[in-house]
Each structure stands twice: as structure tokens, then as C-alpha cells.
Structure 1
Amino acid sequence: MAFRWTRAPFARQGRRVFALFALIAGWCTSVPAWAETAIRSIAVQDGRIVIRFDGRIAAATGEVLERSRQIAVDIADAAPGARVAAGGPIRGVRQIRSGTGTRLLFDLAAPAVIGDGGFDADGRGLTLSLEPASAARFAAAGLAGPLSFMAFDFGDWTAKPRYKVSIPVPPPARAALPKVRGDDSRPLVVIDAGHGGVDPGAINPTTGLREKDVTLRIARAIRDDLLATGRVRVALTRDDDRYLVLRERYGIARRLKANLFISIHCDSVGSEEASGASVYTLSEVASDKEAARLATRENKADVISGVNLGDAGADVSSILIDLTQRETMNSSASFARLLGREAKPLIPTKPVFHRMASLMVLKAPDMPSILFETGYISNPGDAAFLDSREGRERIAESVTKAVEVHFARQLASR
């Protein structure tokens, strides 16, 4: 039997087939447009790049491109947007589709670097602070590699851990200050072993290895290595299995008038695949509330390096704290880059070593502070390395080398 098609049915069926093929092609070749988060606007305001999105973004990276005198910002799973307002240190902005994300290229009117940055609490805004830079600093920033910015509040997006720990949090106590070892004329480094006491931290789901035990052993190894140089004094926030709340940790260092604060941790995720060390410094974007809290305290004496703010108004106090915290964050970032340089030949590190986040333990306004994630306790290889004598010695060596260069540079700049 021969089939005969009339013109109308053929047109209708043709349109249906075409639509079906178009839909299948869309599924196979790209993420549907309705599923993407788009860049809503890009603006340069008071030396800051402010990027807004119409949905939540999990992470982004930023780096200096020295040869082309640009700053590149890569945003995963985001589509280019239309609204761009350049100005100040930025001559122009280009948006380039890159895989499933977007690369933003900022043409610089003069050499500048990313001083700090971070996401808003809802993950819909990313703010990067730009700082004018000399040719030498601009070149060094280009060699340092990308910075990573994490939203951290991923809600249901994150993998669920295999274990769950629920503990009562005891009230903070103003405990006696720990013992300081070393020559009194030397700068003081305070090492903070993360977690402790009723808080075990991350736990390896296979071996039961606890983060609080690993961090204490690493902190002691770093202390011993630093003291052996004779160039610094050292104190530990805890030298046993005790619990300290976050503010108490950096509070101890501030009461001791420390010159550098290093908090030791081990990372953990639901997957065993993630590995490598990384370092975090404070993001200015999320530090405003903490600065405001400090400025409105009843007793504001000696909040910043001996400067009495007791007679200053709230606005003046906030400005003074903000200026000091900016300088402190720059010093923290500088030490983080040094640690990355010294750590990479000695221990496994993540491709993007230096990251920024609003972490409570880093919020001392007048003391350079870093959080050193020495590896993933959830990864079998990392866990074995972190809990080995060789691993602790390599970590301690990398920290010691970075500390020596850090204070040598400070001494040379006086």
C-alpha cells in the first residue's frame, strides 16, 4: 500500500520532528538556558569590582595576567550578562563564555592586584577589592597564580557526610594564658591546633582518625621546628585535648600580643577523591559585622595595637578598625603566598592553594592570621601522610621556612 501525505499534515509533522531534534540537540550539547545562573551586572565602585548574579554561585577564581595587564575572573556555571559599568582602575570589561562558565577580563588602566574578596552571604554577589601595585608587585601577583573564592553556604548542594557528631557547646572561659617559649626579644608565633575536647573535628570514616588529634600533633611539630631556629617565640593555644571556642582561640593570641597566628586544620568532604593542602585568609567582604561588633563594645581600650578607642565615636572606631584590618589582611595574604611557595615542593597541595573566606578564627583585626588546611582527613592517602612522622616534619618545615622569610622581610622594611 502506498502512503499519501497531504500538505497540512506533513507541515505539522515536520514541525514536530524539527522541535524534537532541536530539544535533543540542546540536551546533548549544553546546559539548558533556563537552568543557568546569569551574571546580572558588573560594576567598579570605589576601587572594587562588584559582580551580581540572578542566582547562587558556589565558587570563583581570580588571577593577574601580567603580560596583557588584565585581571581575569572565572565563574563556574554562570552565563554572560549584559550590564557592565567600568571605571576607575578598569578601562574595559569583556565577558567570554568558557565551557559551562564565564571568564571576565578586566583591562587595567594601571597595574593593580586583588587585595581581597569574597561572596555575599547568599552567594549572589562577589566583591573583589583592587589595590594599586608597583611593577614588581604586579609581576609577583602574576606568578602567584589564581585566588579562589568560596561561598561556603551550599545548603543541600553539598555531599552528605557519612557520620554526624552532636555535642553540647560549653560556655567560653577566660583561661590562663599558655606558656610562651623562646627568646623574649623575638617575634611571637601562636599555633592553634583546631578542635579538641568534646569537639573531635572531622573523622576518617574508615579508620576513625580524629582531626583534633592530628592537628595537635602537627602543631607540636611546627612549634619544635620553629623553636629550633632560635628566631621566634612560640605558644600553642592548646597543648592537650581541651575545647576552645573560636573567639577564645584568636583571643589568646591577641592577649599574648602575637605577631602571627596560624590555625591548623584538616579538611573533610563526603568524597574520598578530594586531596591536598590549602590556606585561607580572611575576606574583607564578610568582616564588616565583626568590625562593627568590636567598635560598639563598651570597653574599647587597646582594641587596636594599644590605641585607646574609648573616647572615639562608633563611626570613628569602625573606620580605625577597618583601616587596621585592611593592613592586617594584606600581611596575612602575603604570608599565605609565602607558605604556598614553601609548601608546594614538600607536601601535596591543591592547584589553587590560597583561598579567602569569612572564618571566625581569622577575625583578629590587628594580627596577621591564616588557617592552614594541611590536607583531607577523609582521603586515605592524605590521612596517612598527615598522621605520619614524615608528613608532620614536612609540614613543619614548610611553615618554618615561610615564617623565617616573613619576619626577615619585615625586619628589612624597617
Structure 2
Amino acid sequence: MAAMAALILSLLFAMLPAQASRITEVRAEDGRLVVHFDDKVAGASVFGLDGPDRLAVDIDGISASDLAESDGAFGRLRGGQFDADTARIVLDLDRPLRVSGLRFAADGLSLTVDLASASAAEFARELGRGRRSALPPMLARAAPRPAGYSVSMKLPRPRSSGNLPKIYGRDDPRLPLVVIDPGHGGHDPGAISPFGGEREKDVTLAIAKAVRDELVASGQARVALTRDTDSFIVLQNRYAIARKLDADLFISIHADSAENEAANGATVYTLSEVGSDREAQRLAARENKVDIINGVNLGAAGDDLSSILIDLTQRETMNVSSDFAQLLAREAKENMRVKANAHRFASFVVLKAPDTPSVLFETGYLTNAEDVAFLVSSAGQRKVAEGISSAVQVHFAKKLAMR
């Protein structure tokens, strides 16, 4: 056991960057916190802490060993190395604040955290939001590993995923494979609309088929559906199908519900153990329970993802997923209602394939009269499909251009 632990630790340290970027300046002024770097970084996140009130900024792929304490516009700034590849900057607040924005510069060499005055109650809500993340532009982002060194591993295949579905499109293995997952099915209807009793499982299947047809017609991708009938699939087997097919992208299609009938618009989710807001946490908790029937968890048998190294693979997968989510939100706006802050994070089981970029697309609200009318219509389903198809084509065109 000691020898195995030493081997794992040696692999982990070998994969860390040999020379991380460094923080060159931190300023807290004019309603924002600005952090400058001397080279590309991998990403950043910000979250609140209480007892005392603080804001913390984690920056991946960087060193903060030379960061000294200083007084800023909002309180005392300090920083240090949180782990071997992450710097943490902490702002000890002299008054409650909330984060109103988080973005990287176009060259990726600075991060701006927009801050606004807040009441104690608003700061408490900031704590409840959990961690929010941002990525530098793709071409200005540090690679997860130093150039010239790589470690690869064969991830285990899922032990069972049932019969694999048909692959549609040109029989050309060079074309990327997209797996579309219509949410719910069988005994699980999902959300049910108060406007006509439309069931989520039927809406998602119709949209998934429209997406399949649109992508196949484009000639730019091959497509498989996790289900093409009214059938039930446990959550783990949904992404297991994508993994077993060696899919390049996994898109789970859903339709949301809310107590407030005014709630409307589409949202795109990617994986995070901490929801970006309470709505994301609520939605993930609800969706992740669909495997539990009469107290028995149908998806609990056997964990196919047992290696400690899988976390290292999943980190890059999550970055690609996040890029695609932002692209999908942008492209979908041309065809349908999309929320202002459409990209969110939540711990959905169906997004946990470590080696397949994955998103969950909430296409709208079945509890909103306009949304449900749009989603059940052939014209609306075609518009959703066009938005997804456009995003998929741009996504793979970018990947091809970067080779």
C-alpha cells in the first residue's frame, strides 16, 4: 500500500506545471478587484466566506508565493499558495459586498472581479451562491499540463449500458460523434405542464429527434440518441452510453418547471459539485433523484469511475464543457428565449463522465405558457435544434482549427 501511494503521489506531482505563472499586481479600487499575471492561467473562481466576512479568489495554474498583505478599497488583501497549482487571494471585507461580475481580459493576463455594495442579507445570499467560475479565452488559456510532458491513462469502460443505440449520419469515423440524451422517460414523466398536461419526457424526445435530424442534415457530425422511444434509463447508464460509443460530446435535453409561472428561458448547465446558485442546486437535487423508485436506487450498483487519476482527466473535460456551454447559450439566443446568465453549474449525475465533454440544456419552462407552446410546436423544436446544431458545428470547427 505504501509503494502504491508513493507511485500515485509521484504521478500527481509529475503532472503539475514545472513553472507556474505568477501574480504581478493586485488592486482593489473603483468597485472592482483586478489581478494581473505574467503569463497565461487555467481559470479562476470566487466565493464568499463568513466569520469574519471575506471574499476568496482561487486562480488555477499560478503562484502567489510573493504576494504581500496590503490595504485595499474594501479591506485588507492577502494571498498565498492554496495548493501546488492554485493561488488564493483573500479580501477581508470592511463592509458587505456582492460579486456582480467575473471576467478575464481578452489576452488572459488579468482577472477582474466586479464588486458592489450589499446589505448583510445580500452578502448572506452571496454565500449561498457558492463558487462561481470563469475561464480565460481558449487561445489565452494555460494548458492543463506543461508542453512536452503528458500522462495518459485508459479509463475503464462502464460494465453495462444495455444495447448501444444506432449511430445516424455518414459512415465516416472522422466525423465527431454527438450523443443526445432526451431526459426522463418510461415511468418517469419529468415535469408536467399545467398548460395542457405536456410531459417533459415527450417534449425532450421530440426535441432530441429534431436535433438529430438537423445535425445529420448538416453532414458535420454523427449522432446517437440514448433513447428514441418512451423508455427509462438510469442516470449513470445515460453517460455510460456516450463513453462506450467514444462520443465527442454529450448533450442532455430537459425542460424545467418552477412555482413562478413567469420564469422563462433556456439555461445551460455544466458540472460542478457546488451549484452556481440555489436554483441550480434545487434542480440538480430533483433530477438526481429520478433513479430512486420505491426507496431503491436503481443507479447505485457499482462505480465504474474508481481511479484517483480520473479527477485529473475530468478537469480538462470540464473546461471543454464550459466552453461549449457558453457557445450554446450564444447560438441558441438567435432562435429562442435564453436567460441572461444562461451558463450555470450544478452537480448533475448525467454530466459526470470524466472523459466526455457534457452539458445539460434546460430548453425552457413547462410552467410558462409561452415557453411550453414554443417547445411542443414543430417550429419551436426546429428552432431549438438549429441553435444546438449551430453550436455543435462551431465547436468542432474551432477544435479542428486548433490542431
TM superposition score category, shorter chain reference: 0.5 to 0.7
Structure 2 Cα separation of the partners of residues 198 and 205 of structure 1:
19
Matches within 5 A, 1:340-359: 340-359=329-348
2:130 — aligned with what?
126
Shift of 1:342: 0.7
1:176 aligns with 2:163: yes
| Structure 2 counterpart of 1:380, one-letter code | A
State the shift of 1:390 in Å: 1.1
CA contact (8 A) 1:196 1:212 kept: yes
CA distance in structure 1 between the aligned counterparts of 2:134 and 2:374, rounded to whole angstroms: 38
By percentage of residues, which structure has more helix? 1
Select the structure of larger CA radius of gyration. 1
Is the contact between residue 254 and residue 363 of structure 2 (CA under 8 Å) also seen in structure 1?
yes
Cα 1:298/1:382, change in 2 over 3 Å: closer
C-alpha displacement of 1:102: 2.5
Following superposition, the deviation at residue 54 of structure 1 comes to 6.3
CA distance in 2, matches of 1:105, 1:232: 35
Structure-2-length-normalised TM-score: 0.60
After superposition, the Cα gap between the structure-2 partners of 1:50 and 1:353, relative to the gap in structure 1 and judged at 3 Å, is closer
Q: Does 1:396 align with 2:385?
A: yes
In structure 2, the residue matched to 1:52 is 49
Aligned residue pairs: how many?
278
Map residues 201-220 of structure 1 onto 2, 5 A cutoff. 201-220=190-209
Letter in 1 for 2:326: R
| Alignment partner of 1:266 is 2:255 | yes
For 1:10-49, list aligned pairs within 5 A: 49=46
Q: Residue 238 of structure 1: CA displacement? A: 0.3
Q: Counterpart of 1:51 in structure 2: which amino acid?
A: G
For structure 1, which runs of at least 5 residues remain unmatched after alignment?
A: 1-45, 63-80, 115-122, 139-171, 287-296, 304-313
Per-residue deviation, residues 181-203 of structure 1 (Å, max 9, x unmatched): 12232110000000000000000
Residue 378 of structure 1 aligns to a residue in which SS?
coil
Question: Aligned partners of 1:245 and 1:380: how far apart in 2?
Answer: 30
Aligned partners of 1:107 and 1:406: how far apart in 2?
21
- Distance in structure 1 (CA, Å) of the matches to 2:195 and 2:228: 27
Contact 2:102/2:134 (<8 A) preserved = no
Give distance in 2, aligned partners of 1:214 and 1:187.
26
In structure 1, C-alpha distance between the alignment counterparts of 2:377 and 2:131, rounded to whole Å: 40
Q: SS at the partner of 2:197?
A: coil
Alpha-carbon shift at residue 413 of structure 1 (Å): 1.2
Give the distance between the partners of 2:103 and 2:389, measured in 1 at CA. 38
Q: Identity of paired residues, percent?
A: 49
AA paired with 1:276?
G
Decide whether aligned partners of structure 1 residues 282 and 92 sit closer, same or farther in structure 2, where only a CA change above 3 A counts: closer
Q: Is the 8 A contact 1:90 1:107 kept in 2?
A: no
Question: What does residue 377 of structure 1 align with?
Answer: 366
Give the Å deviation of 1:86. 3.5
**Using a 3 Å threshold, how does the CA distance of structure 1 residues 53 and 207 change in structure 2: closer, same or farther?**
farther
Residue deviations 1:95-140 (CA, integer Å, cap 9, x gap) = 5978xx72378899942489xxxxxxxx768345676x479658xx
5 Å-filtered alignment, 1:251-290, equals 251-283=240-272
- Change over 3 Å in CA distance of 1:212–1:298 after alignment to 2: closer
Q: What secondary structure sits across from 1:207 in the alignment?
A: coil
CA contact (8 A) 1:95 1:102 kept: no
**Structure 2: distance between partners of 1:214 and 1:345:** 21
**How many Å separate the matches in 2 of 1:246 and 1:273?**
30
In 2: Cα distance, 1:189 partner to 1:200 partner: 24
CA RMSD of aligned residues (A): 3.8
Instruction: Identify if the C-alpha distance between structure 1 residues 383 and 326 changes in structure 2 by more than 3 Å, giving closer, same or farther.
Output: same
Cα 1:201–1:48 shift into 2, 3 Å: closer
- The correspondence of residues 309-348 of structure 1 with structure 2, limited to 5 A, is 317-318=307-308, 320-348=309-337
Aligned CA distance change for structure 1 residues 135 and 254 (closer, same or farther; 3 Å):
closer
Distance 1:354 1:403 in 2: 16
Question: Counterparts of 2:226 and 2:336 in 1: how far apart (Å)?
Answer: 24
